[in-house]
A and B are shown apart, each in its own frame.
Chain A
C-alpha cells in the first residue's frame, strides 16, 4: 500500500490489546439486540390492540389478563413491571449507543461535501436518527395519554369510568372530533415503519447473518414485512375507530 511520505513515521501508533467490548461494532450489537427487544414488544402490543376488534369485553379482559398474568408466581401487574424494566434498559442501550455513534460520525466529517449524491441508501436508512427522536417524543406522549395520566381528550375531564375502562379510553381518543389525534398516530406509525424497515435489515446485518447476496436480499424482505405488519396492524385500530367500525 502507499507509504506515508507526508507525515513523519513517528506518528504511527498501533493499538495493542484493543477492548472489543468498547468498539463501534459492540455498540452496534447492543443497538441491534435492544432493537430486537423493541420489535418483539411492538408485535405483542399490536396483537393486544387488535383485540379491540373483538369488542369491549374481550379487549378489557385482555388488559386485565396482562396484569394477572403469571399469578400467583408473579404479583398483580408483575409481568408489566418486568416488561417496563426490560424496555427501559433497552431504551437506555439503544439511545445511548445511537448518541455515541452519531457523535463519532459528526466528528469524522466536520467539513461537509458541497455536492453529495446518495447512490444506494434508502430514505428510511437516512432518517434513522431523526426518526428515532420523533418516535421517542411520540412514546412520551403515548405513555402520558394512555398509561401515566390517562388523558381523556374526547369527553373532557377525567371521568373515572373512562380512565378505568381501557376500551373506552381507546375509543374516546379516536372519535371523528379528534381527527388530529388519528393523524398523530398515523404519522407516528409511518415513522415507526421507516425505522423498522431499515432497523430490521440493519440488525440482521449487524448480527452477521447476511454473508451472501441471497441472505442480504432476505434480510431486506424481512425489513419490509416487519415494517408493514407492525405499522399496518397498529394503524387499523385508530382508523377503524374514527370511521365508526370500532365503537
Chain B
C-alpha cells in the first residue's frame, strides 16, 4: 500500500522542529509500524537524506522503548505498543501523522526520540523495596493474599513507555506513578517503605515538572498494558494517608 507520512523532524533539543511530508510506496500490511519506518529510512538513505530517528529495542512489546504519537493516539489505534502495531490497521492511501511524546519533562533528543530518564529518577526515588541480598527466602514464608498479588502483578506490567504522559492534556505521569505505587504497595514486601515511598516518588514526579491529574482517563485509554485508572485512586489514597501519618 501507499502512504502519506507527516513526520516530526527536529535536528536536536535546541533546534526548532516541523512536520515534514513523505510519500512511501510498497508498504505491506504484514509489516509492523516500525518496519514501515525502517522502509522509509532505507528510501531516505538511498536519496542521501538524513534517516528519521526513532526509539525501539525489543520490538515485542515488553521493553517500553518505542513511543510515537500516531494520528493523535499514543502507540496508534490498537491497544498495544507501536512495535506491535501492524500496518493492517491502516488503509492504502492513508495519511499518518507521527509525532514524538510532547512533554517538557520528556525533552526531544532528535526527531521522534525523547529522553524519558525523568521516569528513571522517579523509580530511583522510592520505586523499590529494600531487601537483604543472599539466598532467596522460602517463597511461602511471606503469605500474599491472592487478590492483592493479582493486582500487584497486573500493575507491574507497566513498562514505563510514557504513553500516559503523552496522552494526558496536563502531561501528568500519575498513571505510571500509580502503577508503581500499587504494584509495590499491594505486596507484603512493599509495606515497610509504603508511605515514605509515595511521598518521595510524588515529590520527584512534581520536581520533574509533570502536571497534576484531572482524572479524565486519557492515560488509561492510551496505556498499551491496560493499566486501569484505579491505580491513580490508590496513589491519591496512599498520599492522603501518608499526610495524616506524617
A-B CB contacts (within 8 Å), total count: 195
Interface string of B200-214 (1 = CB under 8 A from A): 101111110111111
- A18-B202, A110-B104 given as contacts; is B214 within 8 A of A208 (CB)? no
A201 to B215: give the CA distance in the assembly, Å: 8
A229 to B235: give the CA distance in the assembly, Å: 31
Do A208 and B234 touch across chains, with their CB atoms under 8 A apart? Answer: yes
Interface string of A87-105 (1 = CB under 8 A from B): 0000000000000010011
Residues of B within 8 A of A54 (CB): none
Q: Is the interface of A mostly helix, strand, loop or mixed?
A: loop
Q: Which of chain B's residues 215-234 have a Cβ closer than 8 Å to chain A?
A: 215-218, 220-222, 228-230, 232-234
Q: Tell whether B91 is near chain A: CB-to-CB under 8 Å.
A: no
- A20-B242, A25-B239, A109-B104 given as contacts; is B200 within 8 A of A115 (CB)? no
Do B229 and A205 touch across chains, with their CB atoms under 8 A apart? Answer: yes
Do A125 and B214 touch across chains, with their CB atoms under 8 A apart? Answer: yes
Do B170 and A105 touch across chains, with their CB atoms under 8 A apart? Answer: yes
Quick one: which of A19, A101, A212 contacts B203, CB cutoff 8 A? A19
Residues of A within 8 A of B103 (CB): 108-109
Q: Tell whether B243 is near chain A: CB-to-CB under 8 Å.
A: yes
Do B212 and A125 touch across chains, with their CB atoms under 8 A apart? Answer: no
Residues of A within 8 A of B102 (CB): 109, 111-113
Q: Tell whether B82 is near chain A: CB-to-CB under 8 Å.
A: no
Do B243 and A26 touch across chains, with their CB atoms under 8 A apart? Answer: yes
- A14-B204, A24-B212 given as contacts; is B116 within 8 A of A2 (CB)? yes
- A211-B230, A213-B230 given as contacts; is B215 within 8 A of A114 (CB)? no
Do A119 and B203 touch across chains, with their CB atoms under 8 A apart? Answer: no
Do B203 and A207 touch across chains, with their CB atoms under 8 A apart? Answer: no
Do B206 and A23 touch across chains, with their CB atoms under 8 A apart? Answer: yes
Q: Which residue of B lies closest to A117 (CB)?
A: B72
Residues of A within 8 A of B203 (CB): 15, 17-20, 23
Which 5 pairs between the two chains have the least Cβ-Cβ distance? A18-B203, A208-B237, A108-B171, A120-B221, A4-B117
Residues on B lying within 8 angstroms of A by beta carbon are 6, 17, 19, 64-65, 69, 71-73, 97, 99, 102-105, 109, 115-117, 119-121, 123-125, 160, 167, 169-172, 198-200, 202-207, 209-218, 220-222, 228-230, 232-240, 242-243
